[in-house]
Structure 1
């Protein structure tokens, strides 16, 4: 069964797929340099080599382009977290391997991601994107915390979902506010592991 188009997007003919991708790629490049509010429909259309009227065949607004870009990045944001979220114990290497690709993504697309997060409280489509992304991580992390507590690997503390939510918010806030997200990875590993497992020694690669 085919997936219905997301709200705000209009289904075009199959030959238009390249044009839709061109609009998205143009938006990605523009958003790396300036906020959505400063980007015009004419710029998006010109980058995709289509007319302004043709743009509206694929998207009904600049916001719907941004939401489509963010939806496409959702998989990337959680792609490498599986070994950490599905594992057990204070596994420094697995957490670091989950955080490094996330930090790189923030380095490459930080302006767009930070702008989307800042606008989310007053914009339902962006708020829905943020909540979906957060829930996916928090639910899996909470399950991991609960498993480790049941196995005696982690001490008792705040409810697993509460603690997982605090970790997710801390991680997102730190990466969003950093000019060098990759430099934060080792510190985030230390903080997240100690939030879950207590004051235990953390050894990073190369130490």
Structure 2
């Protein structure tokens, strides 16, 4: 019958050849970024890693910048997923905050070159600037809502406006991880600082010490 699929019922089509090549370009970019700065990576290298010609590369991405932006949006999904239990929770939940920060630190450990390069390029690059603004707003909005909820419940003391405090925390995290040679070594200190900033308390083991 015209318009009816000829694929067997219940069978899903796999990724197309184009999808696989696009993913190969992205995987090549991730690998190269683990070994060299963003500025040192060429389109020829990206194409070679995906086993396609330079001209074929432009069928999937119109520039190296487009590859970078695609990678950044993929990372944003990881950040949002790992931060969810902390941002949607309540009270000075140290384990949830620690898990969220540990996941973020691991991301900076593995993708530090990409993230650092993106932050440096953002002021003069509208696509990356939009990505950074969107990612920051997504975190700030949810953290501010958590702070407001906990203040209304009497769990957190009053202080700077929730959004102002959330912006300070987001900027502190970004600056600390961007400057760190060992992002995972920052987790303990960031847990302490953020709990103090929001709740005015130290984690139990720090308070006892």
TM-score, length of structure 1 as denominator length:
0.89
**Is residue 113 of structure 2 the alignment partner of residue 102 of structure 1?**
no
**Is residue 60 of structure 2 the alignment partner of residue 58 of structure 1?**
yes
Q: Could you tell me how far apart the structure 1 residues matched to 2:176 and 2:138 are?
A: 19
Q: Secondary structure at the match of 1:183?
A: helix
Q: Secondary structure at the match of 2:157?
A: coil
Q: Could you tell me how far apart the structure 2 residues matched to 1:15 and 1:187 are?
A: 46
Summarize the Cα distance change of 1:190–1:54 in structure 2 as closer, same or farther, 3 Å threshold. Answer: same
Q: How many residues align?
A: 193
Structure 1 segments of 4 or more deviating over 4 A?
none
**What's 2:88 paired with?**
86
Q: Secondary structure at the match of 1:96?
A: helix
**What's 1:126 paired with?**
128
**Contact 1:36–1:62 at 8 Å: present in 2 too?**
no
Q: Secondary structure at the match of 2:204?
A: coil
Q: Could you tell me how far apart the structure 1 residues matched to 2:99 and 2:34 are?
A: 25
1:203: Cα distance to partner?
2.7
**What's 2:72 paired with?**
70
Q: Could you tell me how far apart the structure 2 residues matched to 1:87 and 1:192 are?
A: 15
TM-score, length of structure 2 as denominator length:
0.88
**Contact 1:96–1:189 at 8 Å: present in 2 too?**
yes
**What's 2:42 paired with?**
40
Q: Could you tell me how far apart the structure 2 residues matched to 1:182 and 1:78 are?
A: 18
Q: CA RMSD in A?
A: 1.5
Aligned pairs for 1:8-27 (under 5 A) are 14-27=16-29
**Is residue 175 of structure 2 the alignment partner of residue 173 of structure 1?**
yes
**What's 1:202 paired with?**
203
